[in-house]
Amino acid sequence: MKIQTNPFENKKFFGRENELSEICKRLGLEDSLIEQCNSFQFTAPRRVGKTFLATEILKKAHEKGYLGIFINVEGCLNEAYFIEKFISKLLESNSLPKKTSTKLQNLRSISITILGTGGAVEWENKKSTIYKELENVFARYNGNAIIVIDELTILLENLKEKASPFLYWLKSLRNEYKNIRWIYCSSMSIDAFIEENNLHKSTIDIESFDLGEFSKEEAISFIEKLSAKKADFNDGCIDYLLKKIEWKLPHYIRILFNEICHLLTENQQVSITIIDQAYSNALNNKDILSYFKIMKADLKQYKEYEKSAYKILEALSHNAAGIGKNTIKTMIYETKNDENDIDRIFNRLKTGGYIMKNEDNKYTFRSPLFRDYWKEQIDKNKIK
């Protein structure tokens, strides 16, 4: 049996012991009296670590003899693409009986032919048979399995009106075959999609798992781990770094750490000056730049709320201390003045990981890095 993980990186997974333990117990991978569930949805903003965590769970499942399947569906433009990919991943696992594999190979050939000819009509004619046959494969499989579907929201958006039957098909699989567990990963916009399309019932049985930042201790240990043999921090500098990035995500810690390493000369210790310089260099880091491309595409999905969202972000980018909700409402009054609409924008920006409420009950950017990048772009007139 082969495990399929996301081959995206050779970076090592760190920490998240509590999260891993809780999920593994709930999925039945670890002995526990806790009530079990067979599906999770990892909801968290971009770059929080959903895919990394799901991949780590697949590794643990593999150690327990489970079949582990990882499918990133972001490139699946329609159902036929999804089915083709799904079948390919099942086949790659090399863990199905020969008869089942042959059946799957046939189904895959049909999907490929349809994809090749772009035949929407042909797909509509064949799809119920293909779905049925796939269900038969599930029915015959009596081992344990975990299937991770990454970037589900993108697929749902591509499926448009077909998203609803697709989600109900997944639900029927979950209800019918309890030996198969599911993890769906998506940035928070899945909730907006479900709400907009009134699809709550199709996902009601899925447990949401809110993934957050590292705890302070975890973040310190992570920096210490990264630093081993590479960097030596002056007293108080790890704390300074954490205050600087505020949002203690491994992704941003790693980016800043790499920038620090680029600046360090031999035997030089990490100082506040180096951290400040690394932080300003990080604003031009390619990972940060690509994040902002994604962010802009995400804001486009806000449609009628896009303009107001930009206004809010622009105002917050110039105000590190934060701005009260009423002041922001006045600012966006021209573009949006309905209370419900305004709340919807705030919620979307919050769940998207762009903004948060601080201790003074004011709104600020979730990450100072985003805030400073945004400000820099506005000052250079690069944001409309």
Ligand X SMILES: Nc1ncnc2c1ncn2[C@@H]1O[C@H](COP(=O)(O)OP(=O)(O)OP(=O)(O)O)[C@@H](O)[C@H]1O
Contact map string, positions 214 to 253, toward ligand X, x by CB under 6 A: ------------------------------------xx--
Task: Outline where the chain has alpha helix (H).
Answer: 17-26, 50-63, 79-92, 98-117, 120-140, 152-159, 163-176, 189-196, 200-203, 216-227, 237-245, 250-263, 272-282, 286-300, 306-317, 325-332, 339-351, 368-379
The residue (of 54 and 96) whose beta carbon lies closer to ligand X is: 54
Q: For residue 48, state whether it binds ligand X (rule: CB under 6 A).
A: yes
> Considering CB distances under 5 to 8 angstroms, the limit depending on partner class, which of Mg ion, ligand X, none binds residue 353?
none
Q: For residue 46, state whether it binds ligand X (rule: CB under 6 A).
A: yes
Rounded to 10 deg, the angle between the 216-227 and 237-245 helix axes is 120
Segment contacting Mg ion (CB under 5 A): 47-55, 74-82, 157-165, 311-319? 47-55
Q: Which of 180, 172, 156 is nearest to 79 (CA)?
A: 156
Measured from the CB of residue 49, what is the shortest distance to ligand X in angstroms?
3
> Considering CB distances under 5 to 8 angstroms, the limit depending on partner class, which of Mg ion, ligand X, none binds residue 49?
ligand X
> Considering CB distances under 5 to 8 angstroms, the limit depending on partner class, which of Mg ion, ligand X, none binds residue 9?
ligand X
The residue (of 180 and 295) whose beta carbon lies closer to ligand X is: 295
- As a whole number of angstroms, the distance between CA 369 and CA 126 comes to 50
Q: Tell me whether strands 355-357 and 180-186 are parallel, antiparallel or unpaired.
A: unpaired
Q: For residue 52, state whether it binds ligand X (rule: CB under 6 A).
A: yes
Residue with tokens 């009596």: 142
Q: For residue 51, state whether it binds Mg ion (rule: CB under 5 A).
A: yes
Residue with tokens 């690069």: 382
Q: For residue 47, state whether it binds ligand X (rule: CB under 6 A).
A: yes
- As a whole number of angstroms, the distance between CA 139 and CA 175 comes to 12
The amino acid present at 292, given as its one-letter code, is F
- As a whole number of angstroms, the distance between CA 84 and CA 107 comes to 8
> Considering CB distances under 5 to 8 angstroms, the limit depending on partner class, which of ligand X, Mg ion, none binds residue 46?
ligand X
Q: 227 Cβ partners below 8 Å, 6+ apart? A: 233, 257
Provide the 10 A C-beta neighbour count for residue 132: 9
Q: For residue 292, state whether it binds ligand X (rule: CB under 6 A).
A: no
Q: For residue 111, state whether it binds ligand X (rule: CB under 6 A).
A: no
Q: For residue 287, state whether it binds ligand X (rule: CB under 6 A).
A: no
Q: For residue 51, state whether it binds ligand X (rule: CB under 6 A).
A: yes
> Considering CB distances under 5 to 8 angstroms, the limit depending on partner class, which of Mg ion, ligand X, none binds residue 68?
none
Contact map string, positions 184 to 203, toward ligand X, x by CB under 6 A: -x-x----------------
> Considering CB distances under 5 to 8 angstroms, the limit depending on partner class, which of Mg ion, ligand X, none binds residue 47?
ligand X
Q: Which of 92, 105, 173 is nearest to 139 (CA)?
A: 173
Q: For residue 50, state whether it binds ligand X (rule: CB under 6 A).
A: yes
Q: 173 Cβ partners below 8 Å, 6+ apart? A: 135, 138, 180
Measured from the CB of residue 51, what is the shortest distance to Mg ion in angstroms?
3
Residue with tokens 């390493």: 261
Q: Give the footprint of Mg ion on this chain (CB under 5 A).
A: 51
Q: Give the footprint of ligand X on this chain (CB under 6 A).
A: 9, 11, 13-16, 44, 46-52, 185, 187, 250-251, 254
